[in-house]
Amino acid sequence: MVQQTEYSGRKPHVWHLFFLAIPLILANITTPLLGLVDTAILGHMDATHYLAGASIGTLILTQLYWICGFLKMSTTGLSAQAGRSNVEVQEQKRRTKVLVQGVSFGMLLGILFILLQTPILNAGLYFSQSSELLSQSTQAYFNVRIWGAPAALANMALVGWLIGQQKTKTVLMLQLAVNLINIIFSLLFVFVFEWGVKGVAAATVVAEFALLGLSLLATKSLINMSLFQSTWLKWLSLKPLLTLNSDILFRNLALQLTLAFIIFTGAGMGAQVAATNAILMQFFALIALGLDGVANAVEALVGEEKGKKNETALAYHVKVGLLWSSLFAVVYALVFWQFGAQIIQLLTDQTALQKEASSYLGLMILLPLVAHWCFLFDGVFVGLSKGKAMRDSMILSAIFGFFLIWWFVADLGNVGLWVALLSFLAFRGAILGSWYVFLISKPQQRIFDNNAG
């Protein structure tokens, strides 16, 4: 049986998690801001197909990278569990191993995407049903941008590793630096070299490799490459990481299927509904900025305590995480209640669309209050590296929490879709929360058993 330990000294203050989360929240905010800059640059070119083509190319790659988010999630938990001591050789060795394996696997996956770029692009063009001119712009953008895939996927592992080491300020600084690099090179390649849509893509590739270099520099003082062993890259050594990644991959696919169903089913109800859902999804994106930041901080803290096998400290961090997640959810709900109509007006100036989207504000107010549970417990289970639990809970929630509920409320039309989404989020939070309670129950100490979920 694992010995339950107490804190040595005073417990971390409840603000500790908050100050870990804030840099991650700010880093999350920089991503859409960068997208606005790229949109402005392409929007000032002499034809609309440049912007539209780049948007489709970005969407194709974003979907690929989003599905590969398992690289960041798995590396975060394993990095946190490896510890942060620069004295203990074993901790240094575990940290270095996690980083080497994560970055190597990410780069290998990126090279595979380059080799498969033609079928990937053709599939994207098929589903987008683009015109010939639009397809040409998409192809021009995609064929340049895809060369950044090895760096982009390796960066996921690096960022996850840094979060696991609680280097959240470093993550923010790196994100700000790479966004500045991207903006400078976009302006240079488009307006000086006149490379058009290829210039924006090339600037992103430069930024992705710059982030790779800067991130490796940031990790230099935290690892010991003299401890490197070639056996780390062999199948038996990689198997635990690949198994964890495969579980989270299926988790991501189930989530993506659910979100895609909402988008495509809404689109089938007409252009007005599709446009309304595009606006409502921005409310979901807004809450993700804050709730993801809290969840990422919890990942690092929970993972560290799992590595130390300190159940008391682990449970404390989960409680503090729930506190901050709940507070963020309440703030979001109040903001949507007071300023929801103004947010919609910022997103569209069409009166009919404003009226339609405003009719959903009640559901948008409920959204953060329901969603924060699954965001928080996702972070807990990432920190625990329990991929099977994340996979199974997502699949069960998709089947019973979303599709079954949708079958009952389909007559409500688009409102039914959003009711089903709220049900899906509630199911995820309830299943993961119950699973966590099961894991911490005594005397089995299942929470430290890597085979228990």
Question: Looking at the structure, do residues 140 and 15 belong to the same domain, yes or no?
Answer: yes
Residue 2 falls inside a structural domain: no
Question: Looking at the structure, do residues 64 and 210 belong to the same domain, yes or no?
Answer: yes
Q: Of 250, 264, 291, whose CA–CA distance to 396 is shortest?
A: 250
Q: Which domain holds residue 191?
A: 8-233
Question: Looking at the structure, do residues 348 and 377 belong to the same domain, yes or no?
Answer: yes
Residues of the chain with pLDDT under 50: 1-6, 8-9, 443
pLDDT at position 3 is 43
Question: Looking at the structure, do residues 269 and 360 belong to the same domain, yes or no?
Answer: yes
Answer whether 294's CB lies under 8 Å from 375's CB: yes
pLDDT at position 332 is 95
Question: Looking at the structure, do residues 98 and 42 belong to the same domain, yes or no?
Answer: yes
pLDDT at position 4 is 46
Q: CA end-to-end span of the chain, whole Å?
A: 18
pLDDT at position 57 is 81
Q: Of 406, 397, 401, whose CA–CA distance to 378 is shortest?
A: 397
Question: Looking at the structure, do residues 132 and 196 belong to the same domain, yes or no?
Answer: yes
Q: Of 304, 242, 231, whose CA–CA distance to 85 is shortest?
A: 304
Choosing from 233, 255, 273, the residue where a domain stops is: 233
pLDDT at position 35 is 58
Backbone Cα Rg of the chain: 22
Choosing from 174, 202, 233, the residue where a domain stops is: 233
Choosing from 212, 233, 254, the residue where a domain stops is: 233
Residue 389 falls inside a structural domain: yes
Residue 362, C-beta contacts closer than 8 angstroms, at least 6 positions apart? none
Question: Looking at the structure, do residues 109 and 170 belong to the same domain, yes or no?
Answer: yes
Question: Looking at the structure, do residues 212 and 83 belong to the same domain, yes or no?
Answer: yes
Question: Looking at the structure, do residues 205 and 311 belong to the same domain, yes or no?
Answer: no
**Cα–Cα dist 307/312, whole Å:** 13
Mean pLDDT of all residues in the chain? 87
Question: Looking at the structure, do residues 399 and 431 belong to the same domain, yes or no?
Answer: yes
Q: What torsion do the CA atoms of 260, 321, 293, 300 make, to the nearest 10 degrees?
A: -100
Residue 148 falls inside a structural domain: yes
Q: Count CB-CB contacts under 10 A for residue 291.
A: 27
pLDDT at position 129 is 67
Q: Indicate the number of domains in the chain.
A: 2
CA distances from 150 to 45, 74, 205, 209, 267 (A): 30, 18, 10, 9, 34
pLDDT at position 247 is 92
What is the model's pTM? 0.87
Question: Looking at the structure, do residues 184 and 281 belong to the same domain, yes or no?
Answer: no
Question: Looking at the structure, do residues 260 and 156 belong to the same domain, yes or no?
Answer: no
pLDDT at position 322 is 96
In this predicted model, what pLDDT tens digit does every residue of 320-347 receive, in sequence order? 999 999 999 999 999 999 999 998 888 7
Residue 96 falls inside a structural domain: yes
Q: State whether residue 129 is helix, strand or coil.
A: coil
pLDDT at position 271 is 76
